[in-house]
Amino acid sequence: MLVRTALRTISTSLARRAYSTAIPAGYTPLTVDGFVGAVGNTPLIKLKSLSEETGANIYGKAEFMNPGGSVKDRAALYVIEDAEKKGLIGPGGTVVEGTAGNTGIGLAHICRAKGYKCVIYMPNTQSQGKIDLLRLLGAEVYPVPAVAFDNPMNYNHQAKRHAENMENAVWTNQFDNIANRQAHIETTGPEIWAQTFGKVDGFTCSTGTGGSFAGVTRFLKEASDGRVKAFLADPPGSVLCSYIKSNGVLLDRSGSSITEGIGQGRVTDNLAQDIDLVDDAMTISDEKTIKMIYRLLDEEGLYLGASSCLNVVAAYEMAQTLGKGSTVVTLLCDGAYRYAERLFSQSWLESKKLRQEIPAHLEKYIVLP
């Protein structure tokens, strides 16, 4: 009896072991080398409800699934590795950057992984959640008044001066360091091309530094022999839409936006490389963006930040322009976790005159006072 019981136990154990170690068909096991190895190779998510509504295929590249939580992990890795290759920073050195948040978070993560110190200057208009996270990641953070780029007290200029006054320190200069753009030429663009089997018809996203939009656009244009259309998406208060539509004549910066980290008052060096490849541009209102935040949460289960949802609105409108059967891709830059205290707050929505934009069936998501 004991022998039979023992044999049954062994047989059951072996069966379980065989089951647990079996590799599902079509699955490729993947391990990566630390935080740095986990950057990139994000999924491409089909947005089902919007695709059905337009008759097109609308996809969002899930950049919020990067290990630091945003698309900026890619640029952060490339600007640091560019500094290393050029001998601008050595072991134990300091990385200094001016950033509206997500690049700083990516830099802080990668600095920890590589053993560097991290110093961040940022506009004091950014969410407290981003500031707190940067400090939790070990960065020195200096929130400074938000002033125009041509003002010497702009956060980027302060970051540059900080690095110049230190030994073994580098200002990574994300806005005009084209290693940022190169990250997307070498990674994001090729990933989109492979994930759509080369059948992408349109790409759109907003720009802050211009690196993501320019790099992806450059790769897709070259891979498709110019067939893929590129539309730049702009929030209110940014000059880029007016600049592109007027062939470089107008720089209209009227208005402001609830989005963070996107929009621009100038053409950065990252964007300047490829601005002639842009087919069109559109300004996306805050009203459309806030509706899309709530809609994607309700219909797709996607908890996304405002810049991601502005991109999705742009992809929806681009799909309507390109027509049924087209395939349009955008970037889902980051999640809503860093902005929840604003985006889902009754008082904040009212202060921005956006409360009335939330449809009745979506009001259940306004859970904060």
Please report, to the nearest 10 degrees, the dihedral formed by the alpha carbons of residues 347, 350, 355, 357 taken in order.
-150
pLDDT of residue 246: 93
CB 233, CB 284: distance < 8 Å = yes
Among 89-93, 128-132, 223-227, which stretch is predicted with the lowest mean pLDDT?
A: 128-132
308 membership: H or E segment, kind and range: helix 306-322
pLDDT of residue 29: 67
pLDDT of residue 130: 80
Structure tokens at 112: 């920890």
Confidence of residue 363 (pLDDT cuts 50, 70, 90): very high
Average pLDDT of span 273-277: 96
Active site (catalytic) residues: 72
Q: What is the CA radius of gyration of the chain?
A: 23
Summarised one tens digit per residue, pLDDT across range 301-348 is: 999 999 999 999 999 999 999 999 999 999 999 999 989 999 999 999
Confidence of residue 211 (pLDDT cuts 50, 70, 90): very high
Other C-beta atoms lying within 10 Å of the C-beta of residue 329: 27
Cα distances (angstroms) measured from residue 70 to each of 46, 247, 334:
19, 31, 5
Residue 355 has pLDDT above 90, yes or no: yes
Burial class (CB in 10 A: 0-12, 13-18, 19+), 124: exposed
Summarised one tens digit per residue, pLDDT across range 5-21 is: 443 443 444 344 444 45
Q: How far apart are CA 192 and CA 33, in angstroms?
A: 23
pLDDT of residue 23: 64
Residue 260 has pLDDT above 90, yes or no: no
Q: Are strands 169-171 and 140-144 parallel, antiparallel or unpaired?
A: unpaired
Other C-beta atoms lying within 10 Å of the C-beta of residue 209: 28
Q: Which amino acid is at 84?
A: E
Average pLDDT of span 92-102: 92
